[in-house]
């Protein structure tokens, strides 16, 4: 941040360093290992009295000199040049911290140059002993250079106590020093054998050539075998988090680790081929292949080592974007641009937001990413995001997937960078809704009711208030089409009674919603997902869009579960509020006793596409496209090393609850896996921090600009939001994760440690809960059923599923709470007009009382209590129930 960075958008900084460094390190390791190869090969020639081997040793020395001293020196200078331009702060830090080591290494390097020149130009002109001594001196200087450089680059990976002491010796003899020295030494000797193959293939005498092939094969293979325990030692020296990164936690490392594991055995096999008798026909091309494999091998190691220290250049001290870790909090407070001396735009305005975003990209991203270049090209990586999605990605960057540094700067700067990556690179934002949503309106028929003549009252409700539907088949299913309806039949009178015998209760969806199979692909995959082959338009419990409701005798109610209704009417468009007609008839005569209508809300306005790309599938307002569905699986695969997308594309659709337990579907999942709710919220909360209810609306269908509203009852009219009951996104996630931690689910402690603290008074102590079992309780605010004095219920949960509002009953355990109050999130008085017709959520209050209110409110006791003078003070439902 104190120094300008060379702006090379096409390449980025990291790839230039990597290309130059890998080539230089390959040659530098040859310079060390070859330094031992030279005198030992000369000694072999003397001992075997072989002028041919001595001639080979001299020719190999010339090749060695030109490659290591000339080309190697040029690439060494190139490394200093490129790191000074693309990583100046880290370069300066290393120079200051290890000045003595650098100067010593340059002395050793000078010694290498002098010794090698003397060694080559006195070949055959100096007595054998003195000439060999010069060779040994060269090797000593070469190995000492490796010794010094190993200490410095080891400190970049594992600085150890140097972070606290800033002591030269603490940094130099760091935890990575000895393991890496052992590994690199073996690598040097093996590479010497690879280059020995290359030059030995030019020998004319077949016998000498065969002898040299066997000789160089030993140089190649023996150190290669010894690299296995040395590499394991290196791995064990890493902290647990970095071990996980090498093992695949960082998906970018998989290719490099794989390169190590593939190229090593390949080198071994081809080296044995080179040593085999009568292999002359293939030796020259195989020698070239071996050199290429050696480059792959050392490149894989160097990339793995570099990636293992991410997100740092110097682990724990300087991020890859040149920001010092100690300055992160100050940067977040004052802003990246304000603290960057070379930044042109210190303040962000509407006019310069894209240019400011470009500067932020140069400073924070270009160290690893290019724009349209050959490595880590940001253009395709950002293509799927909206500005909201990219802002969320930057919000969570470096928090869980900590191989990237966190975004540093103000929220305004983060948004500017998001706008540059989306609008600046791709031309336009992706709006939350591709089409301006206009509700269809229309009339909702209210059934008739004669308060003086009708003998029965039929009370019906849906159990959730909104059933979310993931129409992401045939790739995966989060929630299938499965809405539940319940009802209770009340015989009015002086002493009203619940009727459960001698009656048949039926349900039927309104016209236009009878054929959900024409709109979603659930019936293509239900057999593979749920083990049931269902007729089209039949739900998981065998219920269709019309049929008979089942009696739950113990609760004195009727229900139809898993009705496969979807929000897509046959005439096109989107309607998340299909209405069902419920009728109760005498079981023997078929006489209609009572009839009512109730909405069965269901919506596919789930916002996965906001971050996972794609568009809405239906009318620009709802539904999953294949692009969104496949990206969700691809991201899951990348993060968790699964192969869900491959399975889905091969015809095996994925049910999330196959792995993740979920009480919503009564799915046990796999042992040791977190519940679906804990996994989803625990992960995504890291990307939606410091937000209000818009964090909820990003995924759930409750966006004010969208076609659906989860919360549409009188609480919404009071100004309450999701946060009043469920807490902020951070608090909500922490409570779910803590619930899993209490059950001993592995990994929850680590996930909890990553979740940001929003409010230390509540988030730190967010009481643990189990999804769908422990939920906010109405009585948290309505203490003793009295008018609420507070409107914050976060942290007080129902003790078990029997206390949930949707199943709870009155004091007599007779009427269920939703029978009079309406469905969760849509309790009476519900919103007057959802846009799909007035009173769609409050049909029964309008039917029975002509008013949008709780049933029985304002003295309407006579709805059930006929001719008794029954008053609210007499209520046996709950205290103050009819005030």
Task: Supply the DSSP string of 837-852, one letter for each residue.
Answer: SBTTT-HHHHHHHSSS
Q: Which residues contact 105 (CB under 8 A, 6 or more apart)?
A: 145, 148, 149
pLDDT digits (tens, 9 = 90+) for 747-769: 999 899 888 887 666 656 688 99
Report the pLDDT averaged over residues 601-627: 95
**Would the pLDDT of 710 be above 50?**
yes
Backbone angles phi, psi at 6, to 5 degrees: -65, 125
pLDDT digits (tens, 9 = 90+) for 643-679: 999 999 999 999 999 999 999 999 999 999 999 999 9
Predicted pLDDT of residue 164: 95
Q: How far apart are CA 101 and CA 871, in angstroms?
A: 92
Q: How far apart are CA 247 and CA 228, in angstroms?
A: 16
Report the pLDDT averaged over residues 611-627: 95
Report the pLDDT averaged over residues 16-33: 93
Q: Quote the tokens at residue 423.
A: 């609008």
Predicted pLDDT of residue 442: 81
Q: With cut-offs at 50, 70 and 90, classify the pLDDT of residue 883.
A: very low
Q: With cut-offs at 50, 70 and 90, classify the pLDDT of residue 248.
A: confident
In percent, how much of the chain has pLDDT > 90? 73
Q: How far apart are CA 545 and CA 712, in angstroms?
A: 25
pLDDT digits (tens, 9 = 90+) for 492-505: 998 899 999 999 99
Cα dihedral 602, 605, 607, 613, rounded to 10, equals 130
**Would the pLDDT of 625 be above 50?**
yes
Q: How far apart are CA 104 and CA 180, in angstroms?
A: 20
Q: With cut-offs at 50, 70 and 90, classify the pLDDT of residue 229.
A: very high
**Would the pLDDT of 629 be above 50?**
yes
In percent, how much of the chain has pLDDT > 70? 97
Q: Quote the tokens at residue 395.
A: 């919000």
Q: How far apart are CA 516 and CA 146, in angstroms?
A: 70
Predicted pLDDT of residue 800: 87
Residue-range domains of the chain with CATH: 12-318 (1.20.1630), 323-426 (1.10.760), 456-603 (2.60.40), 636-828 (no CATH)
Instruction: For Cα atoms 176, 182, 187, give the angle at the middle one, nearest 5 degrees.
Output: 115
For the chain, the average pLDDT equals 92
**Would the pLDDT of 873 be above 70?**
no
3-state SS class at 193 = helix
**Would the pLDDT of 802 be above 90?**
no
pLDDT digits (tens, 9 = 90+) for 372-392: 988 889 999 999 999 999 999
Q: Quote the tokens at residue 778.
A: 């109405």
> Do residues 653 and 473 touch, judged by C-beta distance below 8 A?
yes
Chain-centre distance for alpha carbon 113: 51
């Amino acid at each position: 941040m104190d120094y300008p960075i060379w702006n090379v958008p096409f390449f980025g900084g990291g790839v230039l360093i990597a290309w130059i460094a890998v080539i230089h390190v390959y040659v530098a390791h040859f310079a060390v290992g070859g330094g031992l190869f030279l005198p030992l090969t000369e000694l072999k020639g003397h001992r075997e009295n072989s002028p041919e081997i001595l001639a080979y040793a001299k020719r190999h020395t010339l090749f060695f000199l030109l490659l290591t001293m000339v080309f190697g020196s040029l690439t060494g200078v190139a490394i200093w040049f490129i790191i000074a331009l693309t990583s100046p702060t880290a370069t300066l830090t290393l120079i200051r911290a290890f000045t003595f080591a650098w100067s010593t290494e340059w002395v050793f390097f000078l010694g290498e140059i002098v010794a090698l020149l003397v060694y080559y130009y006195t070949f055959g002109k100096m007595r054998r002993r003195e000439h060999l001594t010069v060779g040994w001196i060269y090797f000593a200087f070469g190995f000492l250079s490796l010794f010094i450089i190993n200490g410095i680059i080891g400190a970049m990976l594992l600085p150890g106590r140097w972070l606290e002491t800033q002591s030269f010796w603490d940094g130099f003899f760091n935890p990575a020093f000895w393991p890496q020295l052992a590994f690199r030494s073996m690598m040097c000797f093996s590479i010497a054998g690879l280059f020995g193959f290359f030059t030995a293939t030019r020998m004319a005498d077949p016998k000498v050539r065969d002898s040299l092939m066997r000789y160089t094969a030993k140089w190649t293979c023996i150190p290669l075998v010894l690299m296995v325990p040395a590499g394991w030692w290196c791995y064990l020296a890493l902290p647990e988090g970095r071990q996980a990164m090498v093992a695949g936690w960082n998906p970018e490392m998989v290719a490099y680790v794989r390169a190590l594991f593939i190229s090593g055995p390949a080198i071994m096999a081809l080296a044995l081929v080179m040593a085999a008798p009568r292999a002359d026909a293939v030796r020259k091309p195989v020698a070239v292949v071996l050199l290429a494999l050696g480059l792959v091998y050392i490149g894989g190691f160097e990339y793995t080592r570099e990636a293992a220290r991410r997100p740092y250049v110097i682990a724990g001290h300087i991020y890859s974007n040149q920001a010092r870790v100690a300055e992160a909090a100050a940067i977040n407070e004052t802003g990246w641009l304000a603290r960057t001396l070379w930044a042109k735009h210190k303040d962000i305005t509407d006019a310069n937001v894209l240019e400011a975003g470009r500067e932020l990209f140069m400073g924070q991203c270009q160290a690893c990413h290019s724009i349209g270049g050959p490595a880590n090209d940001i253009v395709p990586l950002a293509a799927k995001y909206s500005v909201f999605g990219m802002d969320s990605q930057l919000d969570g960057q470096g928090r869980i997937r900590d191989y990237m540094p966190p975004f540093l700067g103000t929220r305004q700067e983060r948004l500017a960078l998001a706008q540059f990556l989306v609008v600046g690179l791709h031309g336009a934002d992706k709006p939350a809704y591709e089409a301006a949503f206009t509700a269809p309106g229309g009339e909702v028929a209210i059934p008739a009711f004669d308060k003086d003549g009708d003998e029965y009252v039929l009370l019906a409700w849906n159990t959730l208030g909104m059933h979310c539907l993931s129409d992401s088949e045939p790739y995966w299913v989060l929630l299938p089409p499965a809405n539940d309806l319940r009802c209770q039949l009340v015989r009015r009178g002086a002493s009203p009674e619940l009727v459960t015998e001698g009656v048949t209760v039926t349900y039927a969806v309104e016209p236009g919603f009878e054929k959900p199979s024409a709109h979603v692909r659930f019936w293509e995959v239900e057999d593979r997902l749920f083990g049931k082959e269902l007729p089209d338009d039949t739900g998981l419990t065998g219920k269709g869009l019309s049929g008979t409701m089942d009696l739950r005798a113990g609760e004195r109610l009727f229900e139809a579960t898993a009705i496969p209704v979807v929000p897509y009417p046959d005439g096109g468009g989107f309607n998340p509020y299909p209405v069902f007609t419920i009728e109760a008839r005498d079981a023997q005569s078929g006489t209609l006793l009572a009839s009512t209508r109730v909405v069965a809300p269901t919506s596919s306005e789930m916002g996965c596409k906001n971050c996972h790309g794609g568009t809405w599938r239906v009318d620009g307002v709802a539904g999953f496209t294949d692009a969104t569905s496949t990206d969700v699986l691809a991201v899951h695969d990348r993060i968790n090393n699964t192969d869900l997308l491959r399975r889905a594309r091969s015809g095996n659709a994925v049910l999330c609850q196959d792995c993740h337990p979920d009480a919503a579907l009564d799915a046990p999942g796999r042992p040791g896996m977190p519940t679906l709710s804990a996994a989803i919220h625990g992960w995504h909360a890291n990307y939606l921090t410091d937000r209000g209810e818009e964090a909820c609306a990003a995924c759930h269908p409750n966006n004010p600009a969208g076609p659906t509203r989860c919360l549409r009852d009188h609480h919404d009219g009071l100004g309450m939001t999701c946060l009043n009951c469920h807490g902020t996104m951070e608090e909500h996630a922490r409570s779910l994760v803590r619930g899993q931690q209490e059950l001993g689910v592995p990994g929850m402690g680590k996930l909890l440690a990553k979740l940001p603290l929003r409010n230390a008074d509540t988030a730190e102590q967010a009481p643990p809960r189990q999804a769908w079992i422990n939920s906010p309780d109405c009585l948290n605010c309505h203490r003793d059923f009295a008018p609420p004095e507070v409107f914050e219920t976060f942290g007080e949960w129902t003790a078990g599923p029997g206390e949930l509002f949707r199943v709870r009953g009155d004091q007599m355990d007779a009427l269920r709470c939703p029978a009079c109050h309406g469905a969760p999130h849509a309790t009476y008085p519900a919103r007057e007009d959802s846009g799909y017709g007035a009173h769609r959520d409050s049909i029964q209050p309008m039917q029975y009382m002509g008013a949008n209110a709780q049933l029985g409110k304002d003295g309407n006791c006579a709805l059930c209590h006929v001719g008794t003078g029954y008053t609210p003070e007499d209520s046996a439902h709950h205290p103050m129930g009819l005030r």
